[in-house]
Structure 1
Amino acid sequence: MDKNVQEERFTEMIKFTPPLYKQRYQFIKDLVWKYKPKKVADLGCADCTLLWMLKFCSCIEVLAGLDICENVMKEKMHRLSPLPGDYLQPAERSLTVTLHHGSVAHKDPCMLGFDLITCIELIEHLEEPELEKFPEVVFGFMAPAMVVISTPNSEFNPLLPGVTPFRHPDHKFEWNRAEFQSWALNIARSYDYSVEFTGVGPPPTGMEEVGFCTQIGVFIRKYSQTKSLFNKKLLRYKSVIMMGFFYVFLYVVKVFKAVYPSLKDEKYLQIAVVSEVVFTAQVIKRNLLDHLHSEHEEYSDGPVEIKSKSQHSENCVSEELAVEKCMEPSVSGNVVYIPLTKIFSFPKVNQLCGTFEKLYKLIADKVTLSSDGSAMVVDIEQEYEEEEN
């Protein structure tokens, strides 16, 4: 049975709003918003709900999940795939999501270099040999800047009808607060971390002495050694490979990987810029034609005939050249000339491109430009066709 469903059954007599598992996930989200980690791994990710929530956090660029149960991940991993909207409006940040099938008791270089590692309701599912290896793997080997561990508080269990003896049939143990804190403080001392204790799921009024339903330890590395430790360990594995040895990756199965479209990718940036430029040009064209129509209607009762000022200029050597050099949108024949400088002045275009040179490079072969490349050429007839449709 899914552990969240089982928990809901046991806590139905005590109403947690929102549900307890959502409070745990929200606790992690709040930490992410506060500390802005770029790389986050969830150990014991199960149905990937926490990873799905975290993918919307704009600071995160790498998300990884690890679980011993491959089938559970495969059932829900589609939630982590990019949606059509992600391609239509790519984010500025890059985001890669990966799921691994493996044990938290094994070391593997793919789990190095993370800023935050979460272990939500995980340790109570570990057998004793795995629990003994857990601190060295997570705090010694992975060595992230921050680790968050949550686990049931057994002191709360008497308030939950039907808990015999544990909240979930797969639990190997459930600690009281003193047991959890003793274990956590020993880890913190051994691996140069500080640890603070808190929790979610407050007890009913008058029962405050039992503490939170879920107890949480937040570990923070005392010294900023994460990057240097990562580089040293990665160099060690590269050296082993160069010496002709084979390093066996213990998380042998990469269950899932998704790379989200990003404006950092030139391909997606070009698509976004061209789309915004075409939209902006249509807005400018519409405003210009509306203005010319209103001017004509004000001074004439005859049929509307759109002409630009340059069409009436006897001093122009070339009508098209005069229009191209104009700094404002203008009409010549059946086309509208919209200076690129005008398009670049729009905030969204400016924000996407950064420089005028970048704008020109991205749209040069994707839209129709004037002979000197200074303006975008838009057909008026298209406007009339759109109105008729």
Structure 2
Amino acid sequence: MDPVTFSPPLYKQRYQFVIDLVKKYKPKKVVDLGCADCTLLWKLKFQTCIEVLAGVDINRAVITDKMYRLSPLPCEYLQPSERPLTIKLYQGSVAEKDPCTLGFDLASCIELIEHLETPVLEKFSEMVFGYMTPAIVIISTPNAEFNRLLPGLNGFRHKDHKFEWTKEEFQNWAQDVCSSYNYTVEFTGVGKGPPGTEDVGFCTQCGVFTRSYQSEGSLTADSCRDTEHSYKPIYNVVYPNLCDGTILRNTVISEVIYWAESIRKNMVECAQEDETVDNHSYQASSKSVPSVSNISQETCSTEEHVLTDTRGDNEAYKEGNTIFIPLAKLFSFSKVQKLCSSLDHLKAILSETSQVELNSDATAMILSAVEDIEEHAEACWDTSCLELGVALAECEEDWDEELCDS
């Protein structure tokens, strides 16, 4: 018999199965029980509906091996997300109750239960379906009937497996769980066999459990106090996001400085071009016009008046060596509007920072037409990054202290 191959590989199909369900149900809080090397967590962190992501595994070494893949990327500091995202990892047994597992909308248990002894499996059912009570539980496990299609396989697929169930055995266990804890279940799987083996079923059988009742907070603060913390926190990271007031403020300021610098450059370049054109025109006309004294002061005043009248209230303008950019102009840019709920919000943010200068009534941003504003913008950006770094460092220190205390 030719070896059975899967495309994509079977483990990727299992991960995609979970991801597809996350996209369907859009849970905000997801926990992966038996998270191992955190690969599924790494894939799930890109699902924008998720705000809290947690992983639990009894093997600390396998968690810590690649957990730093879950750290924010540099671009995520430069462009903070609109949604909050916190990722936490714990060392602990899925048979033990811990308050940190409460409040999750979806729990995934991928290729986990076959590693549990029968007494532990019973505690697992009570912990997940009776204590955690997530709205959705995804469980996958090997299909023993498929093993005959895997040439060279003697015994179980992995040396640590305590059992491998047939489809009927898995379904009987799942139905017992549902009747005990008021859930319903749908059966499916991933990893199809070759044509003609449809009766064998999937290589990996899956059960999607749905809670049949509204959670009534059986797990309130009082019940949490009655349960001791048995899990050990390993890793905690809060992603930069615009829900954080400091990050939002720094992002708004950086965005405003960017657009202000763009406007300033454009005005300076246009002024230089106009000056060049005026010089050429003067040189050409000076051959026939003996003196510029023929141009009356009244004409100059009229031209200046026309320029002033054609400038809209939201347009930047120049007085001497100072450029004024109305806040209404800055608020007209879509990114600034997205960051600030209103013009008043933008005004409040800019009024509270020393990184930009506003006019006396705080309706316009002031820039010099001659100074090197790029250096100023870079200095402001450095200051924002420094403030953000300090805030993140303080968060890390708080977490370190929590670890030491525990």
Q: TM-score range by the shorter chain?
A: 0.7 to 0.9
Cα deviation, residue 148, structure 1? 0.2
Q: What residue is the counterpart of 1:112 in the other structure?
A: 102
CA distance in 1 between counterparts of 2:276 and 2:230 reads 77
Aligned-pair distance for 1:363?
2.0
SS, match of residue 40 in structure 2? helix
TM-score by length of 1: 0.84
Structure 1 residue 348 corresponds to structure 2 residue 328: no
For 1:279 and 1:222, the matched residues in 2 are separated by: 52
On the 8 A contact 1:39/1:60 being kept in 2, the answer is: yes
Deviation at 1:282, TM superposition (A): 1.9
Deviation at 1:158, TM superposition (A): 1.1
Asked whether 1:229 is paired with 2:217, we answer yes
Q: Secondary structure at the match of 1:381?
A: coil
Is the 8 Å Cα contact of residues 261 and 374 (structure 2) preserved in structure 1?
no
SS at match of 1:229: coil
Contact 1:143/1:229 (<8 A) preserved = no
Shift of 1:331: 1.4
Cα distance in 1 between the residues matched to 2:194 and 2:37: 30
RMSD of equivalent CA atoms:
2.5
Query: What SS class does the counterpart of residue 272 from structure 1 fall into?
Result: helix
Matches within 5 A, 1:36-51: 36-51=26-41
Gaps of 5+ in 2: 283-299, 376-406
| Residue 266 (str. 1) matches residue 261 (str. 2) | no
Counterpart for residue 307 of structure 1? none
Q: TM-score, normalised by structure 2?
A: 0.81
Residue-pair matches, total: 351
Shift of 1:92: 0.7
Aligned to 2:118: 128
**Would you say the 8 A contact 2:357–2:365 is kept in 1?**
yes
Aligned to 1:277: 256
Which residue identity is paired with 1:289? V
Find out whether 1:52 has 2:52 as its counterpart.
Answer: no
- Cα deviation, 1:75-126, whole Å, max 9, x if unaligned, reads 1111111222211111111111111111011111110000000000000001
Shift of 1:289: 3.4
* Mapped partners of 1:374, 1:34: distance in 2: 46
Alignment partners' CA distance in 2, 1:335 and 1:278: 16
- Give unmatched runs, 5+ long, in structure 1: 1-11, 241-246, 304-311, 317-321
Q: What residue number does 1:359 align with?
A: 346
Question: 1:173 — aligned with what?
Answer: 163
Alpha carbons 1:109, 1:234 under 8 Å: kept: no
Give the deviation of 1:192 after TM superposition: 1.1
Cα distance in 2 between the residues matched to 1:313 and 1:377: 25
One of 357, 370, 387 as aligned partner of 2:359? 370
- Tell me whether 1:209 sits opposite 2:196 in the alignment: no
Displacement of 1:382: 4.5
Alpha-carbon distance in 2 for matches of 1:114, 1:235 = 18
Note the C-alpha offset of 1:196.
0.4
Shift of 1:134: 1.2
Aligned to 1:66: 56
What residue number does 2:179 align with?
Answer: 189
Instruction: Give 1:361 shift.
Output: 1.8
Residue 325 of structure 1 and its aligned partner are, at CA, apart by: 10
1:269 alignment partner AA: L
**The residue matched to 2:359 in structure 1 has which SS?**
coil
How big is each residue's C-alpha offset from its partner over 1:281-335, in whole Å with a ceiling of 9 and x where there is no partner?
A: 12222333344444445554179xxxxxxxx769x9xxxxx9x995411112223
Larger Rg: 2
1:289 corresponds to 2:268 = yes
The separation in 1 between residues aligned to 2:192 and 2:279, in whole angstroms, is 76
The correspondence of residues 74-153 of structure 1 with structure 2, limited to 5 A, is 74-153=64-143
Provide closer, same or farther for how the CA distance between residues 49 and 108 of structure 1 changes in structure 2, counting only shifts above 3 A.
same
Distance 1:62 1:216 in 2: 24
**Structure 2 Cα separation of the partners of residues 49 and 107 of structure 1:** 24
Q: State the distance in 1 between where 2:96 and 2:267 align.
A: 66
* CA deviation after TM superposition for structure 1 residue 274, in Å: 0.7
Partner secondary structure for residue 370 of structure 2: helix
1:356 counterpart letter in structure 2: L
Other-structure match for 2:326:
339
Residue deviations 1:121-145, cap 9 Å, x none? 0000011111111111100000000
Quick one: which amino acid aligns to residue 222 of structure 2? Answer: L
1:385–1:278: structure 2 CA closer, same or farther, 3 Å change rule? closer
- 1:273 deviation in Å? 0.5
Is 1:34 the counterpart of 2:29? The answer is: no
Identity of aligned residues (%): 53
CA drift of 1:355 comes to: 1.1
Cα distance in structure 2, aligned partners of 1:362 and 1:176? 62
